[in-house]
């Protein structure tokens, strides 16, 4: 095999990255043997990377992942429409990663920096909620924790806004959501990044992170006390099955439940080192059914409306990568509307298709 530098404008979906790629970062932003996808093109542009090391075989032909090439050709147009938001998101992610590294080294939280990361993104998702559907596509297993912090803040702020919170409290809950897992900076990396099963002691250490987070935010004068409490309680559940204390309904604040639902939703819709992601709409169903009794039903219903209340004519992508438009929303099955395939006009009632669901909403702009 031979490695050749290829300009990003000449990359093909499915091309294989020949070696780890760094961009003034401690860890590679793209690992060796990763196939080129539309998401990676966003990453390269965000970091101003002009050439990428690509694998070629002995006959000077590109080594390619044909499955990725086929799938990406279907969604390339859609992903390009998200480049503006995606570029800002990925750039702000890098700022957040640097702040997180400082926390790992013992530094206090610089709330001004966190605001600079999260506030502009909150403004954009409040203007166009469809950006929330793409947060899962930006996340990668290696950088999941950083993506998760920002995404939890964005989803929590959007939930708060839809619940009727004023602007000030919406921004506050966005900050609290983004900092809910800041305490993971105090958990040893060897535990955080472990791919195999955790020992009991390791698992117990992970479950201490809400306490670590609370200790890190409790002295932040600009963060309201009720938001700090929400950080501490964001893994508590109404049925008492949560942690770190195991308190039950009545003692868990709604603010904590907003962060909890946002945290759970994003976690289940992202690829992790130990499991694959689920469809956004399937996760909504799982939260409503298999996790019933653990979350505030008003917050869960708000998430359902946020994700599934799609206007007629909304363009969507299905789990089989087909594109379609919504033509009717069934109030009894809000996550499974009736859709029309764009390629041939076929009408499908998703409530009768258990194996097929909406995976993402295609933005208008």
Q: Count other Cβ atoms within 10 Å, centred on residue 211.
A: 16
pLDDT computed for residue 76 by the predictor: 47
d(CA 204, CA 200): 6
What predicted TM-score, i.e. pTM, was given to this entire model? 0.75
Q: Are 153 and 135 in contact (CB under 8 A)?
A: no
- Give the pLDDT of residue 267: 93
83-104 and 111-127 helices cross at what angle (nearest 10)?
160
Alpha-carbon distance 100 to 270, whole Å? 20
The reported pLDDT for the residue numbered 329 is 87
Run of H or E including 214: helix 209-217
State residue 277's pLDDT score. 77
Neighbours of 330 (CB within 10 A): 13
Which segments in the chain show pLDDT lower than 70? 25-26, 46, 60, 65-83, 273-275, 363-365
CA separation for the pair 172, 244 (Å, rounded): 23
Q: In whole angstroms, how far apart are CA 127 and each of 28, 349, 350, 356? A: 33, 29, 28, 29
H-only helix segments in 15-65: 38-46
Residue 99 φ then ψ, to 5°: -65, -40
Which domains, ranges and CATH numbers included, belong to the chain? 2-76 (3.90.105.10), 82-307 (1.10.3210.10), 310-361 (2.30.30)
């Amino acid at each position: 095999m031979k490695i050749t530098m290829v300009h990003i404008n000449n990359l093909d979906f499915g091309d294989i990255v020949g070696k780890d790629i760094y961009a003034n970062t401690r860890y590679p932003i793209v690992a060796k043997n990763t196939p080129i996808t539309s998401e990676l093109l966003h990453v390269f542009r965000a970091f101003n990377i002009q050439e990428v090391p690509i694998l070629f075989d002995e006959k000077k032909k590109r080594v390619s992942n044909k499955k990725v090439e086929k799938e990406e050709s279907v969604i390339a147009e859609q992903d390009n429409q998200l480049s503006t938001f995606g570029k800002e998101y990925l750039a702000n992610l890098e700022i957040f990663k640097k702040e997180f590294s400082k926390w790992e080294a013992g530094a206090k939280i610089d709330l001004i920096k966190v605001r600079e990361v999260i506030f502009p993104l909150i403004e954009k998702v409040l203007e166009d909620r469809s950006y929330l559907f793409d947060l899962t596509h930006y996340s990668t297993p290696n950088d999941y924790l950083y993506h998760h912090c920002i995404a939890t803040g964005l989803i929590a702020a959007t939930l708060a806004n839809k619940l009727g919170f004023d602007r000030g409290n919406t921004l506050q809950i966005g900050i609290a959501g983004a900092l809910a897992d800041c305490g993971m900076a105090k958990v040893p990396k060897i535990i955080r990044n472990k791919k195999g099963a955790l020992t009991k002691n390791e698992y117990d250490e992970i479950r201490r992170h809400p306490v670590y987070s609370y200790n890190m935010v409790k002295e932040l004068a600009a963060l309201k006390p009720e938001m700090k409490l929400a950080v501490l309680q964001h893994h508590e559940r109404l049925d008492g099955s949560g942690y770190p204390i195991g308190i039950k309904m009545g003692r868990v604040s709604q603010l904590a439940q907003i962060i909890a639902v946002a945290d759970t939703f994003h976690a289940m819709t992202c690829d992790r080192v130990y499991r694959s992601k689920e469809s956004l709409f399937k996760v909504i169903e799982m939260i409503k059914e298999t996790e019933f009794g653990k979350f505030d039903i008003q917050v869960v219903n708000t998430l359902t409306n946020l994700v599934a209340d799609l206007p007629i004519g909304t363009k969507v992508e299905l789990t089989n990568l087909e594109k379609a438009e919504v033509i009717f929303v069934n109030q009894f099955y809000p996550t499974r509307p009736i859709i029309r395939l764009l390629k041939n006009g076929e009408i499908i009632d998703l409530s009768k298709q258990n194996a097929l669901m909406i995976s993402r909403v295609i933005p208008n702009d």
